[in-house]
Amino acid sequence: MKTFEKSNSFYQVFERKSGPAKEATHYCPGCGHGNVHKMIAESMEELDLTKRTVFVSPVGCSVFGYYYFDCGNFQAAHGRAAAVGTAIKRTNPDAIVISYQGDGDLAAIGTAETIHAANRGENITVFFVNNAIYGMTGGQMAPTTMIGQRSATTPLGRKEDIHGNPIRMAEMLATLPAPTYIERVAIGNSKHIMKARKAIKKALRIQAEGKGYSFVEIVSACPTGWKMDPVNARDWLVNDMLKVFPLGVFKDESDNQDEDAWKRHFEPFDKAKVDVYLDRMKSAVGEIEPTVLPEDLNCKFAGFGGQGILTLGLFLSQIGMRGGHHVSWFPAYGPEMRGGTANCSVNLSSERIGTPLVDHPNVLVVMNQPSLELFEKDVVDGGTIILDSTVVEGTPDTKRLNAVMIPASDIADEVGTPKVANVVILGALVAATDAFTPEFCESTLRAIIKKKSLIDMNIEAFRRGYDFVKKA
Amino acid sequence: MTEKIALDVPFMEVSGELCKGCQLCLAVCPKSVIAISDKLNSASYHPAFYTGADCTGCGLCFYACPEPGAIRVVKP
Amino acid sequence: MAKQFMKGNDAIIVGALAAGCRAYYGYPITPASEIAHAAALHFPALGGVFIQAESEVSAINMVYGTSGMGVRTMTASSSPGFSLKQEGLSYCAGAELPCVVVNIVRGGPGLGNIAPEQADYFQITKGGGHGNYRLIALAPNGAQEMCDLTMKAFELADKYRNPACIMADGITGQMMEVVDIPEGVTDLPDHSAWAVTGKPDTSGNLISSIVLDPHDLEDHNLKLDAKYKEIMANEVMYEEYKTEDADLIVVAYGVVSRIVYSTVDLAREQGLKVGLLRPITLWPFPTEVIARLADSASAFLAVELSTGQMVEDVQLAVNGKVPVHFYGRCGGVVPGSEELLDEFNKITEGVTQS
């Protein structure tokens, strides 16, 4: 015995629906949405997917999909169902995600979401109900409205030169490499409907098997929006719409896909795993070994990009962190970025640091000419200025400032490469300020320099800079 | 509104309250065994009904009908 | 306590991971992109989701999707991108979905520039999207708080089923500081009562913000409003610095508060009795404490990187008891301590004269 009756994937009574008729849909007489709903429910039930299905309703006449389908339900913002569906599927790859959308939702306001979900090959199923009109909002022109078709916003009929042409989404999406299955079907007559049933079931099966993105466009009827009686509307669909929206399979790679080929990986929250992961994030300098700062350091490091100015600041910062101090490092951010100069502000303090910006440094490092002119005047009286005399000409005001002129680039070159001039400067800075012992700095550098083959060269550069000041 | 029908022959039935009178079932029925009632249902539609004989149980009316619960077809 | 020296933007992702966030959806924009970079590195490595969305709009709607499954999720952007997310945030609030959205505010309006501003204050604290809703808004002022307040934002979002926003700026994002890496991740709440997970036990649930009947929608709004009042009563966070005997109370948040710490110290050295009230939650705003301080202080000064937004909330809280002054820079110009000290002097001279 064969019985054709309401699918068990529908709620028996549509309790979420307002009003008295709790077993009838909210759709107008002859509306195609009901037909499509019935075919989807039937396939969900036959494939035994209902209880793990998440049905995403769009904005439009099918906004109330959740009245009907006895599964998990989302209602999405206009055009965003494919983005919402993407996230649902990625967050639970075992969920069956149906993005049910009309032509305004999918092909106008949601075009980007539609294309990119398809292009990523999201393992979801998109059912695109194309009825050539905006139904819910009162019969305006849709992206799929036919040339000549009258609507509330094309009262004289859609014209190619004013409104553009009806858009063929199935054909467009079929140009993308990722989608697995793209077909256009219709509900114009019984033959169409039987084919549509097969396509809808196939699309859901492809998803259930993890074979990737499936898209079924269903050319449907909107008797109310078209101002036709339901039977004439179906005739118009068959005789007129299908000329512009030809039926057929535009892409089918389902037989060439392995099962679960498009199933993405996701692991639920695992506290222990995150704990281990965070533990690995801690600094290589290891435990804090408190040191005493003779005075707070408010440093400005300035030079050309590529001289390791920012790295110099980071090295000092990490030495300061290991010493148990408050530290802030801030890269040049604003007009002084221009002209290829780089600078950073570093504060080391035994107390909480206020502004991270150093307007008046007590230590200024200068590794190019413009920076000397730009920043020397800002240094506080009695502050220290360290300049790389290999590349910077001129002498700072030695009456006002404690000046260290060190041929850092030359020394670095002797050590092995001019690239470690910044570390030579670091050695000089530590010597000039007595902020840390050289041994403390060297052991910190050993911990934080990632490329182990470069450690010895950096240590030598540091020591040469340190000794240059101490032995002067 | 359906009468008791012998269970060994195919039949279709329409829920007179859920039918919205769109007549799509009439249009697809190969045997023309569905008709429209003169009376209005509580939603002010003239519902379809089975004329009572010659249904083959093909199910085309079921799929043509947009309402999930309005038509039921039994083919023994 | 394990420490790391890190950027504020990176610290946000550390906080997110520690809070059990499993999915990040984002779109590139300066100066927030580093948050996405860190997420791209860490989330997939932990079996989570990272998607570079096709747009800011898609990103927030992906957040809507994952959040509706009861899984912690976030997105981050900067001002123009944050504007694009408003519709999605309204939907999240309407559907009562917890999520965290970071806005590394840049100069506006329009494309503006990438320098720090605080001119998205109105948008964030007064509800940038449509309808009656509020964002829980937290304003970190350093790398440690970028981490800690991100964790707090997830906690509050879940507790109240509402989006929470981290409002920061390019300086707080770019600046590196010592961060205590969180130890021990808190257990996550069970959301199966309302979430739609794609598993049979939640198949009766619905994620939606549509309420057709006007009376029902009014009830829904009143329910949300009651929730917001509860947040206002319970979740205000602020910091007071040297306010006890202060004649002048400076109100500043985020990076500006860092500058004001220094300026308050300078002012105290000069004998000016100045203190700082720093809102940590911008919404709910610390109205009560400001009202209390207005009983003892002679004047208030709101300092912002805007032409005057938070100052309105300060005025509402002070309620005419004492003068409320405003000093703002915008376009990415950040005031220095001397500049602020001049302003303090002007106001305190006025106070002395009157």
> Where would I find the H helices in A255-393?
271-280, 309-322, 369-375
Please answer whether residues A230 and A30 qualify as being in contact, where contact means their C-beta atoms are separated by less than 8 angstroms. Answer: yes
pLDDT at B5 over 60: no
ipTM of the complex: 0.97
Q: How many other CB atoms are found less than 10 A from the CB of residue A25?
A: 24
Give C333→chain A minimum CA distance, Å: 9
Residue A306 confidence (pLDDT): 84
Mean per-residue pLDDT over chain A, rounded: 95
pLDDT at A338 over 80: no
- The continuous run of DSSP H or E covering A365 comes out as strand A363-366
CA distance C272 to A35: 78
Tokens standing for residue C164? 């929470």
CA distance C354 to C341: 20
pLDDT at A335 over 50: no
Residue A121 confidence (pLDDT): 98
Mean per-residue pLDDT over chain C, rounded: 96
Burial class (CB in 10 A: 0-12, 13-18, 19+), A178: middle
Sorted by where each starts, the structural domains of chain B and their CATH numbers stand as 11-74 (3.30.70.20)
Mean per-residue pLDDT over chain B, rounded: 93
Residue A263 confidence (pLDDT): 96
| B-A interface (Cβ pairs under 8 Å ≥ 3) | yes
- Same fold yes or no, C3-234 and C239-353: yes
Encode pLDDT of B18-38 as tens digits. Answer: 999 999 999 999 999 999 999
- Cβ within 8 Å, pair B17-A21: yes
> Number of CB pairs < 8 Å for A and C?
247
From the candidate CATH numbers 1.10.645.10, 3.40.640.10, 3.40.50.2300, 3.40.50.920, the one assigned to the domain spanning C239-353: 3.40.50.920
Q: What is the DSSP secondary structure assignment for residue A190, as one 8-state letter?
A: H
CA distance A169 to A215: 10
Q: Chain C residue closest to A19 (CA)?
A: C213
Residue C173 confidence (pLDDT): 96
Q: How many other CB atoms are found less than 10 A from the CB of residue C65?
A: 32
Residue B22 confidence (pLDDT): 98
Tokens standing for residue A395? 């002498």
- Cβ within 8 Å, pair A329-C170: no
Q: Chain C residue closest to A66 (CA)?
A: C206
Sorted by where each starts, the structural domains of chain A and their CATH numbers stand as 32-256 (3.40.50.970), 297-470 (3.40.920.10)
Chain centroid to CA A188: how far? 41
CA distance A318 to A324: 10
- pLDDT band at residue B1, thresholds of 50, 70 and 90? very low
- Cβ within 8 Å, pair B69-A231: no
Residue from the list B23, B69, B74 with its beta carbon closest to the beta carbon of A1? B74
- Cβ within 8 Å, pair C5-A72: no
Look up residue C143 and give its amino acid: A
**What are the domain boundaries of chain C?**
3-234, 239-353
CA distance A146 to A136: 18
Please answer whether residues A394 and A375 qualify as being in contact, where contact means their C-beta atoms are separated by less than 8 angstroms. Answer: no
SS (H, E, C) chain C: CCEEEEEHHHHHHHHHHHCCCCEEEECCCCCCHHHHHHHHHHCHHHCCEEEECCCHHHHHHHHHHHHCCCCCEEEEECHHHHHHCHHHHHHHHHCCCCEEEEEEEEECCCCCEEEECCCCHHHHHCCCCCCCCCCEEECCCCHHHHHHHHHHHHHHHHHHCCEEEEEEEHHHHHCEEEEECCCCCCCCCCCCCCCCCCCHHHCCCEECCCCCCHHHHHHHHHHHHHHHHHHHHHCCCEEEECCCCCCEEEECCHHHHHHHHHHHHHHHHCCCCEEEEEECEEECCCHHHHHHHHHHCCEEEEEECCCCCHHHHHHHHHCCCCCEEEEECCCCCCCCHHHHHHHHHHHHHHHHHC
- Cβ within 8 Å, pair A66-C208: yes
| Averaged pLDDT for residues A230-252 | 98
**Closest residue by Cα to residue A222 from A212, A233, A235:** A233
Mean pLDDT is lowest, of A324-338, A393-407, C88-102, for A324-338
Encode pLDDT of A348-387 as tens digits. Answer: 999 999 999 999 999 999 999 999 999 999 999 999 999 9
Integer-rounded Cα radius of gyration of chain C: 21
- Cβ within 8 Å, pair C187-A75: no
Tokens standing for residue A143? 């992206």
Q: Provide, as residue numbers in chain B, all residues whose Cβ is less than 8 Å from the Cβ of A5.
A: 62, 69, 72-73
Residue C353 confidence (pLDDT): 52
Encode pLDDT of A78-110 as tens digits. Answer: 999 999 999 999 999 999 999 999 999 999 999
State phi, psi for C200 to the nearest 5 degrees. Answer: -55, -35
Please answer whether residues B54 and B15 qualify as being in contact, where contact means their C-beta atoms are separated by less than 8 angstroms. Answer: no
Give C157→chain A minimum CA distance, Å: 17
pLDDT at A339 over 70: no
Residue A287 confidence (pLDDT): 87
CATH number of C3-234: 3.40.50.970
Q: Is A100 helix (H, G, I), strand (E, B) or coil?
A: strand
List the chains bordering chain B where 3 or more Cβ pairs fall under 8 Å.
A
pLDDT at A334 over 60: no
Q: Chain C residue closest to A117 (CA)?
A: C54
Give A191→chain B minimum CA distance, Å: 9
pTM (global) more than 0.90: yes
Mean pLDDT is lowest, of A27-36, A288-297, A327-336, A344-353, for A327-336
pLDDT at C139 over 70: yes
